[in-house]
Amino acid sequence: MADPEVAVPNRRLVSLAGVVATFVGLAAAELAAALLVTVPSPLDALGQQVVALAPGGFLTTAIEILGPANRAVLLGSSLLVAVGLGVLLGRLAAGRFVVAVALVGGVAVAALAASLTSPDAALPTVLLALVAASWATLGSLRLLLARLGAPVAATSAGTDGPDGRRGGPTATAAVDRRRFLRLTGVLGASAALAGTLGRTTFGFAGAAAPDVTLPEPASTLPPIRGDLAAELPEVTPLLTPVDDFFRIDAAIALPRVDPADWRLRIHGLVDRELEFTYQDLLDRDLVEVDATISCVSNEVGGDLVGTARWLGVPLVELLDEAGPTARAEQVVGRSVDGWTGGFPLEVATDGREALVAVAMNDVPLPVRHGFPARLVVPGLYGYVSATKWLQDIELTTWDGFDGYWVPRGWSKQGPVKTMTRIDLPASGDRVEDADLVVAGVAWAPVRGIGQVEIRVDDGPWEPVEVLPPLSEATWVQWRGTVALPPGDHTIAARAVDAHGEPQPEGPAPPAPDGAEGWHSVRVEVA
Ligand SMILES: Nc1nc2c(c(=O)[nH]1)N[C@H]1C(S)=C(S)[C@@H](COP(=O)(O)O)O[C@H]1N2
Ligand SMILES: [Mo]
């Protein structure tokens, strides 16, 4: 039997060579994806497939629960998989290089398949990027292995100890190793640089939408006045800046939609099926609506909630034109990548200003927030209503369809629960014993907020000043003061909606229909 110990020290270098070569290839692919707009990031495309194929929607649930951290976790796992593949690649290549070529070819084909499920992938450019990536991988692998003095068997195996130094390697082997490690460093650093540039600077970071000019709205809202954040910068501003707006979706690769090809279809249980181009929407009378939207995954005190001045076409107008039949009970939004959210038709027609939105805070919808168009339904959590990259609105019965998150264990109905957040002071703050300003936001779209109260430790609930909101669909800012004796204290806040219904005390976790509970902060008074 062959002694498996023999190749051990070299195995480590060979594995390292495989890992570095894999990252060179990945970086080449990321860079290509960034420069060629019609290529999705291969890491993202692969991640998307893994999520789609994972049994029981296990990963999709993880995405919703992990919230904003999900992308980091997924990216981290993809990178781990890449390391594993790299080790395998290096070891196979050290045996027979052609086996490594086959492995790279196989991964490229899998990546091709994964990429083409992305709506923005164009075959020729994807192929180009994959050929470049495969070539970069195999080329750097060959270079690295050559530095190692060719196949494993050719080196004086057995003289090196497990740490690759003990046992007196020959002088040439030492020199080669140094040259190998230098090349490893150079290739690794280039890959890191190219990959980072690809994902950030050149990358389709999604901050801006493709170049479109917005028409003047038919009706505009007055400019924002009386924002408490101007006075107390710790307090959440009335409108959330677009760059700070939370992002939640199950799309790992952002859909990049060409507005020239895009169509919005309204169909199902309607008298007339309708279709609109992007320009058709822009040519209509657009209205502005101030509305707060929240993710159902938002924890008590969390920041998966934001307010924007949305610009768009009233959903009720489009529905009226299509003419829902008597059997229509549910409005289902479907995105270009197949995601769906559904809500009662009644909600769309009860007077709240639901929109097919094309802009937020005076800019065309950024890609991450749904360019070219999305639904915004005030008062409903995003997962049942706020379809981004909208391509299709279907009217159906209530039982006729379940949106994306419903079979994954989330409630079919998703009204936003009344919630209050303390922005100031922050938990853990050390404060003076003088009068302490406590301030924050509270929301209960579309019911509106009636009153906000705060409490110190087990003391009585005291009402605070509630500032006028932009609309019943947005949060309110509030402020109060408390005098605290020295020591540790807990300050809690809760609200009552404008119908007199108190905020649910809970506590309840986000699943299955939204968190409940009173937000509190701990402060230490000096
Ligand atoms: N196409 C698509 N639209 C989607 C989602 C999605 O995964 N895909 N997620 C929804 C969820 S769960 C939320 S909370 C909101 C968040 O919108 P935002 O990212 O613009 O803040 O988008 C909704 N629209
Ligand atoms: Mo969400």
Alpha-carbon separation of residue 127 from 99, 119, 309 (angstroms): 21, 16, 41
Q: For ligand 1, what atom is nearest to the CA of residue 335?
A: 1
Lowest-pLDDT choice from 132-136, 241-245, 247-251, 362-366: 247-251
Contacts of 213 (CB under 8 A, 6+ apart): none
Nearest CA to ligand 1 atom 18: 247
Q: Are residues 436 and 331 in the same domain?
A: no
Output the pTM of the full model.
0.75
Average pLDDT over residues 288-315: 95
405 occurs within a structural domain: no
Contacts of 80 (CB under 8 A, 6+ apart): none
Amino acid 75: pLDDT: 72
Domain holding 456, by residue range, is 419-525
Q: Are residues 202 and 254 in the same domain?
A: no
Amino acid 169: pLDDT: 42
Average pLDDT over residues 45-53: 65
- Residue with the two structure tokens 């957040």: 421
332 occurs within a structural domain: yes
Rounded distance from Cα 381 to ligand 2 centre (Å): 7
Q: Are residues 174 and 306 in the same domain?
A: no
Give kind and range of the element (H or E) at residue 452: strand 449-456
Contacts of 59 (CB under 8 A, 6+ apart): 50, 51
Amino acid 158: pLDDT: 37
365, 396, 427: which is the final residue of a domain?
396
Amino acid 511: pLDDT: 86
Average pLDDT over residues 451-475: 97
Q: Which of 332, 388, 393, 513 to mutate to test the pocket of ligand 1 (most atoms within 8 A of CB)?
A: 388
Q: Are residues 388 and 283 in the same domain?
A: yes
Alpha-carbon separation of residue 331 from 66, 123, 201, 270 (angstroms): 28, 34, 39, 11
Given pLDDT bands bounded at 50, 70 and 90, which one contains residue 106? very high
* β-pair type (263-268, 274-277): antiparallel
Nearest CA to ligand 1 atom 5: 249
- Asked if residue 408 has its Cβ within 6 Å of ligand 1, the reply is no
Q: For ligand 1, what atom is nearest to the CA of residue 245?
A: 21
Q: Are residues 316 and 186 in the same domain?
A: no
Total structural domains within the chain: 3
Contacts of 149 (CB under 8 A, 6+ apart): 155, 172, 173, 176
Amino acid 466: pLDDT: 98
71 occurs within a structural domain: yes
pLDDT at 136 over 80: yes
Rounded distance from Cα 46 to ligand 2 centre (Å): 22
Nearest CA to ligand 1 atom 13: 382
Q: Which of 66, 120, 249 to mutate to test the pocket of ligand 1 (most atoms within 8 A of CB)?
A: 249
Given pLDDT bands bounded at 50, 70 and 90, which one contains residue 505? very high
Per-residue pLDDT tens over the stretch 107-116: 888 888 877 7
172, 207, 242: which is the final residue of a domain?
207
Q: For ligand 1, what atom is nearest to the CA of residue 405?
A: 12
Nearest CA to ligand 1 atom 10: 383
Q: What percent of the chain has pLDDT over 90?
A: 60
Amino acid 165: pLDDT: 38
Average pLDDT over residues 61-80: 65
Q: What is the mean pLDDT of the chain?
A: 86
